[in-house]
């Protein structure tokens, strides 16, 4: 495993312009729909912006988590495409802008932010030390500052290493990864509670943060896989991405599909069995009228289909099938967030029209756009990383 | 050396790279019946050996599905078909509650079953012996050496050729593996010695578990409190002639606070002799109303008109507002409640004498309400 005889003649290749234009086109199209939708129906767009911003946020922050996990576990296999996760983690900075529609319409989205409602409601009054507007925005700011700091530490060190080729940067990042982990656990729980769970402020579920985390990690892995397969198709890496790499990515996606199902079912089973009215109504809202079909669809789309797609060994090794599974998982993550958010907007039945199309298009476009911008001046391989050689030669 | 007893020729190498290279050459030479033994799984060896993908996954799938279906069927049969019990107000076939058990049984059967299948498929269980066992070669490859063994049954096999090949590849040690004349490919489990051992084990284990479960667990560590000279429940007394532990009270004994009913079978006498000890005040009337509504109204109706809600399902009692009942003494009604009349059973177990008198007062109040006197209307 010595470094002797290993020379990597890595030549930076530019991403095709097509990708950038595609991202730009999607962004513009999505933005137009969102703006028109916001003018005609601000409340509905606010709900959609929760879905869109939590979607982009989950990919960004879970990518940051994957980077930290790689350093912390000393993982070798994923070094070769760590840059992809680094590019994807940059999307967290766009989240506050995507979240503007609902941050500007706090009162119509979050009942706990309306003073007259809280005054009449003893439960909300009891929760008001946590659920109040000032503290909400303080939390938001602190969380994004924390993520920003760790983003610049991880990515800065990683980029510097391309030039210095020093092992010390890896060591430094490993230490910061260890510091990041507890922060990550707390911050992602707070975001899940603040942005998603407090839509129904009377309801509570202690597993909700883990639920959002499990789905986020699925989405981040899927986004990484999709980008890796695309870039390997275009031969952007300059080295061969082996089936062993693909297998590891597929296995992780498969594992987190099961993890998500485990968490989602745990949440449901406890509430269903205890049968307490203050908890069950959350599921009843999602089981009445046409929402029933969305709930049943969630089980199939989010668990059964990815499970079947990724079950066998050949399917995890085949980049074509992995790409389909990755797109499917990204779609199902958006579907999951829709299921979490939209029943609060329309309790009677499914709400779906052109208003709902703006954010998915905008999210897809903005992720591609940020990815291409970040990839422009950065090597696609972390050429200074001491583990890179072993990563390229990775064997299962 | 007798070729018939030769099992294989083996070569030992020092590093995993050498063994991978050796396998490549052996594969190229066209040998098919060979095997590689390494102290740990060497990556990429299965590809170099051109081994087909393992079929074990299919067994795991079938076993897992068997576990899932079996567990679900078992729970469906026991919980909702054969002996349905309502648990926590959930449906008999409470699917969400069954999922954890289904999951556990699936994992249990798939994992344990796959290991057992592996033992049968690859280790040829129950055959426990192999010519490579107890050889120096096997001792080396389970420590720090990497070995390859080409079997004599291979069509291309030739001792000299194989030895030359190994030497060319740089094997550190080349040896021939022989097996004894008595070496039997039949499983050793059918040997009488082994069967006797099995029977002996079975007897010892079942005897020990019988002793533990039926004798040992029922031995008292100390029993001074249990074994006293007193009459145990359901047992015979040795002290008294009639065998009872307790004595019967003297004839005519009356319990404190109880009033014996002396007019059994003589309702008319009771009507003449018994006097209601209570006045119709608020306390007695509300008690009487409560008891009447509980015990009497199902048949007699809430207003004693004989129009109860059991109408049609049960013979209706006559109205209590008839002249006959209105002219009865209080004691006569008391006698009916105490002993029953016609199809009406006795209510002496449900109502205490005081409560019976309160019911009588309430019946009187109802009668008065239906057939009010002139003065009542003023």
Residues B310 and B273 in one domain: yes
B70 within domain boundaries: yes
Residues B156 and B121 in one domain: yes
B155 within domain boundaries: yes
Q: What is the mean pLDDT of residues A163-191?
A: 93
Q: Which of A269, A296, A318 to mutate to test the interface with B (most CBs of B within 10 A)?
A: A269
Q: Please tell me the predicted confidence (pLDDT) of residue A7.
A: 63
B137 within domain boundaries: yes
Helices (H) and strands (E) in chain B, counts: 13, 4
B184 within domain boundaries: no
- Cα–Cα dist B216/B244, whole Å: 34
Residues B14 and B128 in one domain: yes
> CB A275 to CB B57 under 8 A?
no
Distance from the Cα of residue A226 to its chain's centroid: 14
Q: Please tell me the predicted confidence (pLDDT) of residue A11.
A: 81
Q: Please tell me the predicted confidence (pLDDT) of residue A3.
A: 46
Q: How many domains does chain B have?
A: 3
B80 within domain boundaries: yes
Pick from A272, A312, A395: which is nearest to B96 by CB?
A272
Residues B110 and B163 in one domain: yes
B41 touching A, CB under 8 A?
no
In what order do the strands lie in the sheet containing B173-178? B34-37, B146-151, B6-13, B173-178
CATH number at B328 reads 1.10.760.10
Q: How many CB atoms lie within 10 A of CB A373?
A: 14
Residues B166 and B273 in one domain: no
Contacts of B96 in chain A (CB under 8 A): 265, 268-269, 272-273
Per-residue model confidence as pLDDT tens digits over A197-212: 999 999 999 999 999 9
Pick from B43, B90, B100: which is nearest to A395 by CB?
B43
Classify residue A124 by its DSSP letter.
H
Residues B63 and B169 in one domain: yes
Per-residue model confidence as pLDDT tens digits over A314-336: 899 999 999 999 999 999 999 99
With H, G, I as helix, E, B as strand and everything else as coil, classify residue A16: coil
Q: Please tell me the predicted confidence (pLDDT) of residue B187.
A: 62
pLDDT by residue for chain B (378 residues), tens only, comes to 454 578 889 999 999 888 998 999 999 888 888 889 999 988 888 888 888 888 888 999 999 999 999 999 999 999 989 999 888 889 999 999 999 999 999 999 999 999 999 888 887 777 777 888 888 899 999 999 999 999 888 888 888 888 999 998 888 889 888 876 555 556 666 788 889 999 999 999 999 999 999 999 988 888 888 777 788 888 888 888 888 888 888 988 888 877 778 888 788 787 788 888 888 888 899 999 999 988 888 888 888 888 777 766 777 788 888 888 888 888 888 888 888 888 888 888 888 888 888 999 999 888 888 887 777 776
Among B120, B146, B178, residue at a domain's last position: B178
Q: What is the mean pLDDT of residues A186-191?
A: 96
Q: Using 50, 70 and 90 to split pLDDT, how confident is the model at A1?
A: very low
Predicted ipTM > 0.95: no
Q: Which residue has the higher pLDDT, B327 or A248?
A: A248
- Cα–Cα dist A6/B42, whole Å: 22
Angle subtended at Cα A60 by Cα A54 and Cα A62, rounded to the nearest 5 degrees? 95
Q: Are strands B6-13 and B146-151 parallel, antiparallel or unpaired?
A: antiparallel
Q: What is the mean pLDDT of residues A112-119?
A: 90
Residues B316 and B277 in one domain: yes
Cis check: omega of the bond before B126, within 30 degrees of 0: yes
Taking CB atoms within 8 Å and a gap of at least 24, the contacts of B343-348 are: B343/B315, B343/B317, B344/B299, B344/B317, B347/B295, B348/B261
- Residue B53: exposure state from Cβ atoms within 10 A (0-12, 13-18, ≥19): exposed
B21 within domain boundaries: yes
Name the residue with tokens 């049969």: B77
> CB B96 to CB A273 under 8 A?
yes
- Cα–Cα dist A139/A192, whole Å: 12
Contacts of A273 in chain B (CB under 8 A): 88, 90, 96-97
Residues B90 and B41 in one domain: yes
- Cα–Cα dist A188/A61, whole Å: 8
Residues B207 and B272 in one domain: no
Of the ranges A187-191, A252-256, A363-367, B287-291, which one carries the lowest mean pLDDT score? B287-291
Q: Are A362 and A355 in contact (CB under 8 A)?
A: no
With H, G, I as helix, E, B as strand and everything else as coil, classify residue B173: strand
Q: Which of B62, B96, B102, B107 to mutate to test the interface with A (most CBs of A within 10 A)?
A: B96
Q: What is the mean pLDDT of residues A284-301?
A: 93
Q: Please tell me the predicted confidence (pLDDT) of residue A6.
A: 59
Residues B158 and B200 in one domain: no
Q: Please tell me the predicted confidence (pLDDT) of residue B4.
A: 54
Counting residues of chain A whose pLDDT is more than 70, the rounded percentage is 98
Q: Are B36 and B16 in contact (CB under 8 A)?
A: no
Question: Residue A24 above 90 pLDDT?
Answer: yes
Residues B171 and B70 in one domain: yes
> CB A313 to CB B100 under 8 A?
no
Q: What is the mean pLDDT of residues A369-390?
A: 90
Range of the domain at B208: 189-218
Which phi-psi region, left, alpha or beta, contains residue B236 (left: φ > 0; alpha: ψ -120 to 50)? beta
Residues B164 and B194 in one domain: no
A354 touching B, CB under 8 A?
no
CA B43 vs CA A2, A306, A316, B365: distances in Å:
18, 29, 18, 99
Q: Which residue has the higher pLDDT, B342 or A72?
A: A72
Angle subtended at Cα A24 by Cα A18 and Cα A28, rounded to the nearest 5 degrees? 145
- Residue A173: exposure state from Cβ atoms within 10 A (0-12, 13-18, ≥19): buried
Among B148, B178, B208, residue at a domain's last position: B178
Q: Please tell me the predicted confidence (pLDDT) of residue B1.
A: 47
Pull the structure tokens for residue A263: 């968490």
B52 touching A, CB under 8 A?
no
B246 within domain boundaries: no
B72 within domain boundaries: yes
With H, G, I as helix, E, B as strand and everything else as coil, classify residue B12: strand
């Amino acid at each position: 495993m010595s470094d002797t005889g290993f020379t990597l003649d890595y030549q930076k290749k530019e991403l095709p312009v097509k990708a950038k234009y595609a991202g730009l086109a999607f962004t513009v199209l999505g933005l137009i729909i969102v703006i028109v939708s916001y003018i005609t129906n601000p409340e509905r767009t606010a709900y959609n912006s929760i879905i869109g911003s939590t979607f982009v946020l989950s990919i960004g922050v879970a990518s940051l988590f994957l980077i930290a996990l790689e350093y912390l576990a000393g993982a070798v296999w994923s070094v070769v495409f760590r840059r992809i996760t680094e590019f994807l983690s940059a999307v967290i900075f766009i989240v506050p802008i995507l979240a503007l529609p609902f941050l500007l319409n706090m009162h119509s989205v979050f009942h706990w932010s309306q003073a007259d409602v809280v005054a009449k409601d003893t439960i909300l009054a009891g929760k008001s030390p946590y659920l109040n507007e000032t503290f909400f925005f303080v939390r938001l700011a602190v969380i994004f500052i924390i993520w920003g700091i760790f983003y610049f530490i991880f990515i800065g060190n990683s980029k510097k290493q391309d030039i210095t080729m020093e092992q010390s940067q890896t060591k430094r990042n490993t230490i910061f990864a260890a510091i990041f982990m507890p922060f990550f656990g707390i911050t992602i729980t707070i975001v899940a509670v603040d942005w998603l769970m407090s839509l129904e402020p009377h309801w509570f579920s202690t597993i909700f943060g883990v639920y959002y985390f499990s789905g986020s990690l699925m989405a981040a892995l899927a986004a990484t896989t999709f980008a890796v397969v695309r870039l390997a198709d275009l031969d952007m890496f300059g080295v061969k991405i082996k089936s062993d790499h693909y297998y590891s990515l597929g296995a992780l996606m498969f594992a987190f599909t099961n993890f998500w199902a485990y968490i989602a079912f745990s949440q449901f089973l406890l509430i269903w069995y205890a049968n307490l009215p203050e908890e069950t109504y959350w599921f009843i809202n999602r089981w009445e009228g046409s929402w029933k079909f969305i709930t049943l669809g969630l089980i199939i789309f989010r668990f059964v289909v990815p499970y079947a797609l990724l079950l066998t060994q050949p399917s995890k090794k085949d980049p074509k099938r992995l790409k389909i599974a990755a797109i499917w998982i990204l779609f199902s993550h958006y579907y999951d967030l829709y299921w979490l958010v939209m029943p609060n907007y329309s309790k009677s039945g499914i709400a779906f029209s052109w208003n709902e199309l703006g954010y998915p298009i905008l999210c897809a476009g903005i992720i591609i756009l940020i990815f291409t911008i970040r990839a422009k001046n950065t090597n696609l391989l972390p050429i200074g990383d001491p583990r890179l050689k072993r990563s390229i030669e990775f064997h299962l | 050396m007798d070729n018939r007893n030769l099992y294989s020729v083996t070569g030992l190498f020092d590093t995993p790279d050498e063994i991978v290279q050796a396998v490549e050459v052996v594969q190229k030479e066209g040998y098919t019946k060979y095997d590689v033994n390494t102290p740990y799984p060497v990556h990429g060896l299965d590809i170099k050996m051109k081994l087909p993908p393992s079929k074990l996954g299919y067994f795991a799938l079938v076993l897992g599905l068997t576990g899932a279906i079996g567990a679900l069927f078992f729970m469906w049969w026991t919980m909702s078909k054969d002996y349905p019990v309502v648990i926590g107000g959930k449906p008999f076939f409470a699917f969400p509650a069954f999922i954890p058990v289904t999951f556990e049984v699936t994992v249990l059967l798939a994992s344990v079953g796959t290991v057992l299948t592996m033992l049968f498929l690859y280790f040829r269980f129950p055959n426990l012996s192999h010519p490579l066992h107890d050889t120096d070669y096997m001792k080396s490859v389970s420590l720090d050496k990497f070995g390859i063994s080409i079997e004599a049954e291979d069509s291309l096999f030739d001792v000299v050729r194989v030895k030359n090949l190994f030497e060319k590849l740089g094997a550190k040690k080349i040896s021939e593996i022989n097996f004894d004349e008595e070496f039997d490919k039949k499983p050793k489990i059918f040997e009488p010695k082994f069967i006797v051992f099995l029977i002996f084990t079975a007897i010892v284990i079942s005897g020990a578990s019988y002793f533990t479960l039926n004798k040992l667990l029922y031995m008292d560590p100390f029993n001074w409190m249990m074994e006293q000279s007193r009459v145990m429940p359901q047992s015979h007394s040795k002290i008294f002639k009639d065998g009872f532990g307790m004595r019967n009270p003297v004839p005519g004994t009356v319990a404190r606070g109880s009033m014996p009913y002396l007019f059994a079978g003589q309702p008319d006498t009771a009507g003449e002799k018994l006097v209601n000890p209570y006045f119709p005040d608020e306390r007695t009337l509300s008690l009487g109303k409560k008891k009447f509504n509980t015990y009497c109204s199902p048949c007699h109706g809430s207003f004693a008109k004989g129009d109860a809600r059991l109408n049609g399902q049960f013979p209706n009692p006559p109205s209590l507002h008839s002249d006959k009942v209105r002219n009865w003494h209080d004691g006569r009604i008391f006698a009916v409640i105490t002993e029953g009349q016609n199809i009406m059973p006795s209510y002496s177990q449900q109502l205490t004498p005081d409560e019976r008198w309160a019911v009588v007062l309430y019946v009187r109040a109802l009668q008065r309400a239906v057939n009010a006197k002139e003065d009542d209307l003023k």
